[in-house]
Structure 1
Amino acid sequence: MTELPAASFRTDGPEDWHRVHPISPLVRGWVAVAAVLVLFGRNSLDSVFYSNSNSSGAPAGVILAVVGVAVVVFSLAFYLSWRFTRYQVTDSQVHINSGIVFRQQRRARIDRVQAIDVVQPLLARFFGLAELKFEVADGGKSAIKLSFLKLEEAKRLRAAILARAAGVHVDPAAPQDVTEAPERHVLALAPGRIIGSVLLSGLSAVSVAVVAVAVALGVWSGEFAVFLGFVPILIGLAASYWKGVTRDFNFRVAVSPDGVRLHYGMLETRSQTIPPGRVQAVGISQGPFWRPFGWYRVHVNVAGYGADRADNGNRTVLLPAGTLQEVMAVLALVFPEPGVPNPVDVFTAGLRGPGNTEGFVHSPRSARWIDPLAWRYNAFRATDTALLCRHGILFRRLQVVPHERTQSLSLRQGPLMAALGLVDFELHSTAGPIQPLVHHMALDAGRRLFDEQAVRAATARRIHAVEHWLAQPQAQPQEGPHAR
């Protein structure tokens, strides 16, 4: 990877404020404008072209006057919204002031930035605009949005914020504009892979079940009208297929000094940047329909994203459908030090199981009474840098948590598990799709793992205390042993 250029960055002073693009309110509120125009415009045209003495609708002049007033009101509201929205980026914080009647002031510390996205909805792409959205480390409750800026300005601002979060210092005597850090291509997913992964997802199982029920009811009742009742459900399923394809279309992974960059989307495009060291946990999963093709899905926990419900969980996806080799390539970007000399063998054993190959410790034989099928798949292994948790047989999951990202630990045991000498080990990460868990461990193994993991986590946190990843020399992530 190319290092950031040795240049300082322009800093806003106390009196330096900027405004978003003038047409930003229109890009945000075009749906309301379109609804008014469609509602009243259609009535107006009907009155003009189809008016007669028996018409009971409002006169065309009244409708046109209402439309005119609506246009004026919307224009004034859009102007005031733009006029009262300002932002400022200093060395330490981002300030956003907005609101007309109810004023809102938002501030976020740059050193707490977890990830930054540049989002372009379809209409914004038409005007060459983009929304800048970045998260801070509080579970996804303080997402800061700047809507909308010129695409070049959004990228420049993202680069400046990431550089300051990385610990690059500003020279007040010679400020310069920052340029976006270069990126190196890692991998891209073909459209056929994206379409196939959606068609072979759990959504297809639901679709087949709905069609089967519709056919069975239609045959049983002998009435074609029965099928009409399933039309809304089928339309919803079709929309889910369309969303799944367009959401991950043109998925690309790259790496830069800023961190891991993800590019994806068909209609709404998103350029997502996750700075180094911000990933709290990695989860790799595989469903039964993907197993013949060897595809896996990779999720991550990032502190600022939280549960990621606002974007259907897509922002926590590091790889929507990748082969084992591609999984290893993206793991090397967010987890460059696996802590074992043979990472490919270890992670392959963790993904495919079963048994205790490559050092994985699985559940004891007594676990067969409560987990007869998956007891040999439930296992764990601790490396020098992370804890690997494996569980599931139909839906296989491997969860990786760096030791320094361990939040807390717990052991759980119910009456039946106590009688069998079993315990569940749970490792708490930040809020997200990954909840690391080892099912049905032997009681002694669980207690030993609890004590050892607490020591490993405390030691790793002392070693990795620095959050400014460019403030000191750091080994650049390479595809290294993962890609072998």
Structure 2
Amino acid sequence: PVTTGERVLAAGEPEVVHEGGAPAAGEDPDLPPWQRLNPRMILADLLRVLFSLAPGIVALGAVGVEPTPGVLGSLGAIAVWGAIGAAADVLRWITTRYRVTDTYVERRTGLFVRTYRSIRRDRIRSVDADARLLRRLAGLRRVRIGAGQASTAMESALVLDAISREDARRLRERLLEHRPSDTTARGTGRGTDRGAGEVYAELRPWWVLYNMANVWAFFMAAGLLWGTWWMLALFGLDPGGWVASSVERLGAGTTATVVLGAALVWLLGVVGLAVNFFNEYAGFRLERVPGENGTVLRTTHGLLRTREVNRDDHRLRGITLSEPLPWRWMGSTEVHVITTGLSLWSAAATILPRVPRATASRVADAVLAGPGDPMRVPLRRHPGAALRRRLGWALGVTGALTGTAAWLVAGTGWPATVWWVTGAVVLPIAVGLAVAGHLALGHAVTPSHLVTRYGATNRHTSALEVRAVSGVRIRQSLLQRRLGLATVEFTTAAGWGRYPAVDMAAGETAELAALALPEQVRRFRAEGAPGPGPEPSHLFRQG
């Protein structure tokens, strides 16, 4: 038998899909008929085959490259790659059917291994439509339907590739029109209209400055140089000889040549990242649009590959600003939504490219639409004992690395300068990170959100809806207990699942926990349980 998710098909058992769309025997005749993918995808694949043959036609016919085995092998690999991809798409068009019922989105596919997948419509978190260049030329879209599979069952989203642009639009509107249950609405306190029709952000060309100057420039340059080198060699040119002759004509020393080469490579990578940014975010727009039963947070962007992501507002629980250390030096940040069913690692959770922090905070507050501007509220600083804890760790790490270096010097005969140079290099870095980590700590409470911030190398500022908190955990390590510190973790069924206020004063933890879960904490205290501090950590849960 072949497993298909909800049922098992015996080998040789016919599919329940009929060509005319009529229901098969044993199926409910009231269900909608199964549909094929759009046949225009075959036209797009024909263009794909022609493009894969183009290098060979140009090289052998127009340029007159000698047909050596190496050249023919490379050109043949390109042509075969295009043909195999096109054949796979044709086979997928023949074997794939899908339909949308009142309860499920269903898809059947496969030739030798037939698979069946379904997603309950009331569990759909996002509908993402995109199209590469050839699909756009054919008027097609690829639709990805996310229902939290990646963060729960570790499954990929259900993909329909490809359907027409109009079918994709109608499918998006239909799948996102479901109203959450009354219980869900009461649990989150979210209304059905949150500023529908508002545009929160559009592309600003100078944003490219925050997205092109980083270490990834070297990887981008490596890819561009390898591709260019391979293509020139394919057409019978000698890029290695040209580079060698250029270095010889330059006449600089080895060190100067290496430095100049690294600078040119980095510059090439920066230009590549800039081009990639405009290709990915051309026409960027973040807006809240009305739906049949509420509002949807939508982002659209892309030049050669367009993408549209829709996120149900009923599932929005907060916002996280992510600021790795190099980005903080540049004053930039990235914005992610905290929403049920989407991990913060998901691309659909990102609603802005890297932008100035002021812009990110303004947009985040507008998206949250809560009183008090959670992302711009002043945070309560954590006590100096938190800095002492981090300085202790910094000194411990420095001592461990310096001691290891001294042991290697004694055992291997390395120069004695190795161990003290190690300490001299590691100590200021460790102390600097300790200070940065302490400066990053903070928390605040607004009428609608809990705000936490932490992280030395990657600072995270999160605003989580108070009504979305499902539990509070107060914990202390032995060192925290000695220093009078404690960490409060707020748990929720969204994003990372827990958001901590790290190393705050132990005497303030119960008060902060009570702001999130007042009834549970009040009942816990009324039962005479000891508060946080000298006693073990406790766990409060709703329900």
> Normalising to structure 2: TM-score of the pair?
0.60
Q: Provide Cα deviations, 1:21-66, integer angstroms capped at 9, x if missing partner.
A: 114367579878855x3687689759x9788xxx8869x9xx9999
Aligned to 1:189: 202
Q: Of residues 34, 37, 54 in structure 2, which corresponds to 1:17?
A: 34
Distance in 2, matches of 1:260 and 1:276, equals 6
Distance 1:200 1:439 in 2: 31
Q: Which runs of 5+ in 2 are unaligned?
A: 1-28, 182-194, 221-250, 391-433, 523-543
1:264 pairs with one of 278, 298, 301: 301
Q: Indicate the residue corresponding to 1:155 in structure 2.
A: 169
**Alpha-carbon distance, 1:85 to partner:** 0.8
CA spacing shift, 1:224–1:435, aligned 2, 3 Å: farther
Change (3 A) 1:419 1:73: closer
Deviation at residue 222 of structure 1 after TM alignment: 4.3
CA distance in structure 2 between the partners assigned to 1:326 and 1:68 by the alignment: 45
Amino acid at match of 2:206: R
Moved more, 226-235 or 380-389: 226-235
- Bigger Cα Rg: 2
Is the CA contact 1:285–1:395 (under 8 Å) kept in the aligned structure 2?
Answer: yes
Asked if 1:436 corresponds to 2:461, the answer is no
Corresponding letter in the other structure for 1:130:
R
How many angstroms does 1:93 deviate by? 0.7
The normalised TM-score by structure 1 is 0.67
- In the aligned structure 1, how far is the partner of 2:453 from the partner of 2:76? 66
User: Separation in 2 of the partners of 1:319 and 1:50?
Assistant: 44
From 230, 252, 260, the counterpart of 2:285: 252
Corresponding residue of 1:116: 127
Count of residue pairs the alignment pairs up: 402
Higher mean displacement: 362-371 or 425-434: 425-434
Quote the residue 1:349 is aligned against. 377
Question: How many angstroms apart in 1 are the aligned matches of 2:298 and 2:439?
Answer: 37
- After superposition, give the CA deviation of every residue in 1:361-399 in whole Å (9 maximum; x if it has no partner): x32232231246354652222333221112357865421
1:364 equivalent in structure 2:
383
Tell me which moved more, 14-23 or 364-373.
364-373
In the TM superposition, residue 136 of structure 1 has moved relative to its aligned partner by 0.6
Q: Residue 16 of structure 1: CA displacement?
A: 0.6
> Is residue 282–residue 399 contact of structure 1 (8 Å, CA) maintained in 2?
yes
Q: How many Å apart are 1:256 and its aligned residue?
A: 1.5
Q: Distance in 2 between matches of 1:96 and 1:396?
A: 41
| Cα distance in 2 between the residues matched to 1:286 and 1:64 | 44
Matches within 5 A, 1:315-326: 315-318=349-352, 320-321=354-355, 324=358
Tell me how far apart the structure 2 counterparts of residues 14 and 458 of structure 1 sit (CA, whole Å). 49
Change (3 A) 1:151 1:165: farther
Instruction: Output the amino acid matched with 2:122.
Output: D
Distance 2:120 2:337 in 1: 23
Q: Is the 8 A contact 2:45 2:86 kept in 1?
A: no
The code of the aligned residue for 1:14 comes to L
Counterparts in 2 of 1:151 and 1:375: CA distance versus 1, 3 Å:
same
Question: Which structure 1 residue ranges, 5 or more long, are not aligned?
Answer: 1-11, 168-181, 208-217, 354-359, 460-484
Letter of the 1:247 partner, please give it: E
For 2:129 and 2:474, locate their aligned partners in 1 and report how far apart those are by CA, in whole Å: 41
Greater CA drift, 219-228 or 269-278: 219-228
Q: Which one of 312, 332, 335 corresponds to residue 366 of structure 2? A: 332
CA contact (8 A) 2:484 2:505 kept: yes
CA deviation map 1:217-257 (0-9, x unaligned): x9985484787799888766654454344323332112212
The C-alpha deviation readout for 1:64-90, integer Å capped at 9, x for no partner, is 999999999876654332121111001
Let me know the Cα RMSD of the aligned residues. Answer: 4.7
CA distance in 1, matches of 2:375, 2:290: 26
Give the letter aligned to residue 95 of structure 2. Answer: F
Q: Is the 8 A contact 2:202 2:285 kept in 1?
A: yes
CA distance in 2 between partners of 1:366 and 1:297 (Å): 30
Structure 1 residues 321 and 75: alpha-carbon distance in aligned structure 2, compared to 1, 3 A threshold: closer
| Greater relative contact order, per chain length (Cα 8 Å cut-off, separation 6+) | 1
Q: 2:341 aligns with which of 269, 294, 304?
A: 304
Aligned-partner Cα distance in 2 for 1:376–1:78: 53
SS of match in other structure, 1:100: coil
1:53-92 matches, within 5 Å, as 77-92=88-103
Q: Is the 8 A contact 1:306 1:432 kept in 2?
A: yes
Would the aligned equivalents of 1:200 and 1:289 in 2 still touch at CA under 8 Å? Answer: no
2:297 alignment partner, SS class: strand
* 1:411 match: 474
The amino acid of 1:321's aligned partner reads V
Shift of residue 447, structure 1, vs aligned partner:
3.8
Name the one with the larger helix percent. 2
Question: For 2:308 and 2:270, how far apart are their aligned partners in 1?
Answer: 27
For the residue of structure 1 that corresponds to 2:370, the secondary structure is coil
1:421 to 478, 484, 503: 484
Label 1:257 to 1:28 Cα distance change in 2 as closer, same or farther (>3 A). farther
Q: What amino acid is aligned across from residue 89 of structure 1 in structure 2? A: V
Q: Among all aligned residue pairs of Structure 1 and Structure 2, give the percentage whose two residues are the same amino acid.
A: 21
For 1:107, give the aligned amino acid: S
Which residue of 120, 126, 139 maps to 1:128? 139
- Whether the aligned pair in 1 keeps the contact of 2:361 and 2:375 (CA below 8 Å) is no
